[in-house]
Structure 1
């Protein structure tokens, strides 16, 4: 049984009973007040960005649907009116009627 405990040929000191070690530089940096404030600021920034994106998306949806419901039919109707006016002008010119325009100055 004594040969089983020396398999690797190198024995490391037992850490169970050792006292606390001094924190290394990385532990000091990670646990510093500046880093914790930076993490908090980053977290706050992310939450504000999420809220902003959510509200921007809602506003874009409202603007888009409003445009489709109100502006598109108006644009279509204005186009029809323009085509009708052009057709009337074309018919008048074919029939020989004088073109309708502003009154000539006297």
Structure 2
């Protein structure tokens, strides 16, 4: 006698057992322990890859914003200083003053 489905529940069709001769070769191959272990390993690898990509993205964001906040203003200020020094050198050459060599320590 077949089991009665619960009220409001969904009844699923019976699963074919491995002893039935009409099961296909594909279903027999995909139900092997090696295939199921391979699927589990692939799932775990996908999970780790997703976490690694997310962490790498966060690290890239932190590095990028830190670079913008700390390094870019420094580069701009160094460029301004270089332009100012070149301007002073040009003015000194126009006025005929001897070029000054910065003292090295």
Written as runs of structure 1 = structure 2, the 5 A alignment for 1:11-90 is 21-22=20-21, 23-90=23-90
In structure 2, how many angstroms separate the alpha carbons of the residues matched to 1:79 and 1:42? 52
Return the TM-score normalized by structure 1: 0.75
In structure 2, how many angstroms separate the alpha carbons of the residues matched to 1:53 and 1:68? 22
> Aligned pair in 2 of structure 1 residues 68, 102: CA closer, same or farther (>3 Å)?
closer
- Rg larger in 1 or in 2? 1
> How far does residue 102 in structure 1 lie from its aligned partner after superposition?
6.2
Return the TM-score normalized by structure 2: 0.75
User: When the two structures are aligned, how many residues end up with a matched partner?
Assistant: 84
How large is the Cα RMSD of the aligned pairs? Answer: 1.5
> How far does residue 24 in structure 1 lie from its aligned partner after superposition?
2.9
